[in-house]
Amino acid sequence: MLTIKEESRRESHMDIDEPEVHGNSDVDMIIEPLSNKEDDEERNFWKNNANAKPDKFEIEEGSMELLRVFYKRFFPYKTYCYWLNYSIDPMNKSFQNREFNFVKPGDDEIYMRYLSFDTIEEFKNEVLRVCPKKIDIGAVFTAKPKEKKSLKLSALKPVEKELIFDIDMNDYDEFRTCCSGATICEKCWQLITVAIKILDAALKGDFGFKHLLWVYSGRRGVHCWVCDERARKLNDDERKSIASYLGVIKGGAQQNKKVHLYKNSFHPSLTRAYKIIEEYFERVILEDQEVLKDEREWTKVLEFIPDEAVRRRLNDDWRENSSRHSIEKWDNLVEELESSVKLAKNPKKAESLRFCKIEIMMQYLYPRLDEAVSTKMIHLLKSPFCVHPSTGRVCVPIIPEECENFNPMIVPTISSLYNEINDYDRSHVKNDGGRSLHDYEKTSLSPYIKYFDKFVQNILKETLAKNKAVMQMSMEF
């Protein structure tokens, strides 16, 4: 007989709402409800924590103590709960029927699924009691997930969830030359920056969404939470259409699909994306990543050219002049394409050669989305203000307008915050007059929480205005 752990591993690619696996919400079980690379790595980290090299990881021995301090002094409970409540009124169904998943501290992967909370205090007390090494946010259900056991299965249906997007550096590994695996640097982070810019513009411009919360995943990716009411109410089919509309280059499991553009199908959204890509391609792809530096790298680029003769000419030329910079080689490639367009007799061939340059540029810099994350309302996603277990970094919001200046390497960690707050407390004597500062205000976490506060305030203001309008309308009748 299989244990629950083995059983769930076997079925890890199935719908996560597997009743026999998650049947007892109030019993802690060893299950693995999520299946993605990052989660696997996190699991391994916690399992192997004892052997972690101090220079490699921020969190090691004593990490749980630091995490406890973080939850006690820094986690923005109030704003966070009002965010998920989507109203300044007392906690309502949006919050109370929301599923949370906590991963318990310790070596084993113990998931506490189908948690839900009635009040901010209840949520806070449970976080402080459990000190979860990870918090995931799920959907809003028709009833309280914590009452799952006493409800009929049909009574607990997901009804709302932010539309979410996941961009991970994993999906750029096929050509990333500066780093590999879990490591990132300022150069490759630019790949994520361009992805944020394109996706942010598309979600706002093509769909009219306004409330986009971009969150650093704590290591080498970002999540986007689209919080507009319209987005939260999308059903799975609608989510699927949006994801496939935006998924020109597939990330995740469908990573290798290549972009094919044709004159007739060059949508305005792609034109806008291309304009952004044009701005960054030379610096990010040719200078920083040097994707034409050596034969192994340039072969990948040449594969996109739909003409054997052009490929051969460029390959021969570059072999003879391999020290030529990627920027120069790119100029060679563009010239070759332009002259072969003129020479092409078949109009279809001419068209594919004409679009080849754009296709290559899009292939490198168009956001690679893990569509599976976006298409299911029930999908769990790591919460903002969580702490990434292998870096110790806080999953802080990113301001899309300033994402170019966002440096993941200097994001506060639970240990840096611990040091900052201690330094502050040591050097400041308590003064009696004036407002006492929140702990976060004494640290480098402050701008992120202030941004989050403002973000949530804007959502709440909109709800308030909407309720006021409804009230006014009902008074007029």
Q: Residues in the site for Zn ion, rule: CB under 5 A?
A: 178-179, 185, 187-188
Cβ distance to Zn ion smaller for residue 181 or 208 = 181
State the catalytic residue, choosing from 17, 39, 168, 371. Answer: 168
- DSSP assignment, residue 405? G
Cβ distance to Zn ion smaller for residue 222 or 242 = 222
Spatial CA neighbour of 118 closest among 146, 158, 152, 155: 146
State the catalytic residue, choosing from 162, 166, 171, 359. Answer: 166
Cβ distance to Zn ion smaller for residue 172 or 452 = 172
Residue 26 among the catalytic residues: no
For residue 69, the tally of other CB atoms under 10 A from its CB is 17
Token reading at 223: 């999540």
The CA distance from 43 to 220, in Å, is 16
Closest separation in Å from C-beta 360 to Zn ion = 21
In the Cβ-directed half-sphere of 347, how many Cα atoms lie within 13 Å?
1
Closest separation in Å from C-beta 285 to Zn ion = 13
Cβ distance to Zn ion smaller for residue 175 or 451 = 175
Instruction: Return the residue matching tokens 């300044």.
Output: 88
Token reading at 79: 């704003």
Cβ distance to Zn ion smaller for residue 185 or 344 = 185
| Sequence-separated (6 or more) residues with CB below 8 Å from residue 193 | 403, 404, 406
The CA distance from 35 to 253, in Å, is 11
The CA distance from 182 to 179, in Å, is 8
Cβ-contact 340, 307 below 8 angstroms: yes
- DSSP labels for 138-203? EEEESS-GGGGGGS-GGG--EEE--EEEEEEGGGGTTT--S--TT---HHHHHHHHHHHHHHHHHH
Cβ distance to Zn ion smaller for residue 14 or 409 = 409
Closest separation in Å from C-beta 391 to Zn ion = 15
State the catalytic residue, choosing from 99, 288, 370, 420. Answer: 99
Residue 439 among the catalytic residues: no
Backbone CA torsion sign across 93, 95, 98, 102: negative
Closest separation in Å from C-beta 41 to Zn ion = 17
Residue 99 among the catalytic residues: yes
Token reading at 220: 């080498």
Spatial CA neighbour of 400 closest among 244, 247, 220, 202: 202
Cβ distance to Zn ion smaller for residue 181 or 447 = 181
Closest separation in Å from C-beta 411 to Zn ion = 16
- DSSP assignment, residue 245? H
For residue 325, the tally of other CB atoms under 10 A from its CB is 13
Closest separation in Å from C-beta 253 to Zn ion = 23
Closest separation in Å from C-beta 1 to Zn ion = 46
Catalytic residues: 99, 166, 168
